[in-house]
Amino acid sequence: MKLTDSILNGFSSLFGGKDSYTQTNFNNMSRFIGLAKGEYKIDTSIGGLHEIATTTAHLSAVINRKANMLANGRWREYKMVNGKKVLVEKSDAVIKLENPNPLQNGNEFIRQLSWSYDTYGTSIVNLNRRNLLIPSTMYSLPMDELVIKRSGKIYKQLDIDEIIERIYLCTESGDMDFELKDLVIFKNSNPNDPILGISPIEILKLPIANVRAGLGFRNRIINNDAALGILSGVATQDMSIGLNEKDQERIQSGYKSKFGMQKGKKDIIMSQTPVSWTAMSYPTKDLMLFEEITQDFKIIIDFYGLNENIFSRDKASTFSNYTEGLRSAYQDCIIPQGQDMALSFTKAFGMDGVNNWLEYDFSHLDILKENEKEKSENTKRDAESAAILIANGYQDVANSIVGRILPE
C-alpha cells in the first residue's frame, strides 16, 4: 500500500467512513493534536468535555448562567387571522414545551438543552410522537452516550437518511434507536463537520487550561503541598548546629502528618533538636495568577456572548454596569438563541412559520421592560421636539426626527 493511501485510510478511520461508527466526540483529532509540550492538557474527547465543563469553576459559571438566563423565556404560539397577528390561547405546542416530559418542567428542559449546546457544541432533542405533529414527550438526549453511524457520504446526498444511517444511545439494557425525522438538532457552526457542531471548549482550550493551571497552583500552595520554608539547625556564635539525616526525616515526617494549615493538624511544631525557620515565600503576586485567571475568564465570557459585569469579580460592578451588562447579554446572545430555538420547534411541530409560528419571548423581564420604558420616553421626547420644529417652520429638520422614530 502506498504511504499516501495509508495516511488517507488513517484519517478515514478517525472521521468516520463507510460502515464506521462514530462516537460524538466532535474532534477525534484532539487526541493527536493537543497543546504544545509543557502546557496544561485539555481532554476534548466526549468524556473529557463533560469533565472539563463540570470541574472548571469559571467555565461552569458561564455555562450555567447562560442556561438560567435562557430558561427565563416564555413560549407563545401565534396565528395570522385576517392579516393580524393573534395569540393562540391554550396552545398545545406551548403546553408541551412547558411540560416536555414526566421528569422535567420547561425550565429544566431548556437548561439541559443549553448546557449540552454550550458543552458539546450540539444539542439533540427527541420528539416522541403518536401520529400527531405535537409530540407526547420530548427529551434532550445525552450527547456522551449518543452514537452516530455515518454513511461516509455528505456533499452530494439529497436526504439526511443518505448521510446518517443510524443514530442511537448505548444503554445497559441495549441500544435505543431514534428516527431522524423526530430529532431536532441545535449546533454551533463547524467548518469541518456539517452534522455536528464544534464544542466551545475546543476553541477555548488555552484559556481554560490557563485557568485550571492557575487554580491548581494556588491550590497546591494552600494545601501545603510544597515547601513554604526551611527548618535548619540553630546557628551559634562559634558554629552552626546541623541536622543529621535522622533528625531531618523525623521533623519532616512529623510536619507532614501532624502539623499544617489543614483541619485537624497542629499549629506549632515541638522539636527536641534546636532549629530555626527560614520562610520561603512563593512569588504568587509576581506570577500574576489572579490577573491571568481574570483575563482568561473574560475571554470565556466573551466567547459565550455574555458580559463580564454580570459575574462576580475582584472589583464589583456598579449597578448601572450590571444592568447594562444584563441587557446586553439578553439582546446580543440570549434573545437570538431563543429565536433560533423557536424557529426550530416551529418547523418540528409542523407549523409553516408564516401563518402559524412559535415565539420564545423575554419581554416580561423587568430588565428589558426598563429598556422599553426608556425607548418610549426617548420617542416621546423626539415627537415633542419634532412638533416644535414644525410649528416654527423647520419642516426638513422635523422630518429627519420623525423618520427616526417612526417604524419602518
325-380 pLDDT, tens digit each: 999 999 999 999 999 999 999 999 999 999 999 999 999 999 888 656 666 666 77
- The pLDDT confidence band at residue 384, using thresholds 50, 70 and 90, is confident
232-245 pLDDT, tens digit each: 666 655 545 566 77
Per the CB < 8 A criterion, the answer to whether 202 and 30 are in contact is yes
Computed over every residue of the chain, the mean pLDDT equals: 79
Judge whether residue 155 has pLDDT over 60. Answer: yes
43-97 pLDDT, tens digit each: 888 888 999 999 999 999 999 999 999 999 999 999 999 989 999 999 999 999 9
> Which residue in 174, 182, 188 sits closest to 139, CA to CA?
182
Question: What pLDDT is attached to residue 11?
Answer: 34
**Angstrom distance (rounded) from CA 96 to CA 76:** 12
**Angstrom distance (rounded) from CA 122 to CA 140:** 11
Lowest mean per-residue pLDDT among 159-163, 165-169, 255-259: 255-259
The percentage of residues in the chain with a pLDDT greater than 90, rounded to a whole number, is 41
Judge whether residue 124 has pLDDT over 80. Answer: yes
Task: Report the Cα 352 to chain-centroid distance in Å.
Answer: 31
Place of cell 393573534: 86
Question: What pLDDT is attached to residue 403?
Answer: 61
Question: What pLDDT is attached to residue 262?
Answer: 52
**Angstrom distance (rounded) from CA 312 to CA 127:** 38
Q: What is the mean pLDDT of residues 116-133?
A: 92
Residue 341 Cα distances to 25, 97, 154, 189, 347, angstroms: 23, 11, 25, 15, 10
Q: What is the mean pLDDT of residues 220-228?
A: 61
Task: Report the Cα 198 to chain-centroid distance in Å.
Answer: 12
Give the start-to-end residue ranges of the domains of the chain.
11-212+292-348, 227-281, 365-405
Q: What is the mean pLDDT of residues 16-38?
A: 38
| Cell numbers placing 169 | 444511545
Question: What pLDDT is attached to residue 38?
Answer: 43
**Angstrom distance (rounded) from CA 352 to CA 217:** 55
Number of H helices, E strands in the chain: 14, 12
Judge whether residue 398 has pLDDT over 80. Answer: no
- The pLDDT confidence band at residue 247, using thresholds 50, 70 and 90, is confident
Judge whether residue 292 has pLDDT over 80. Answer: yes
**Angstrom distance (rounded) from CA 330 to CA 71:** 12
177-210 pLDDT, tens digit each: 999 999 999 998 888 888 889 999 999 999 999 8
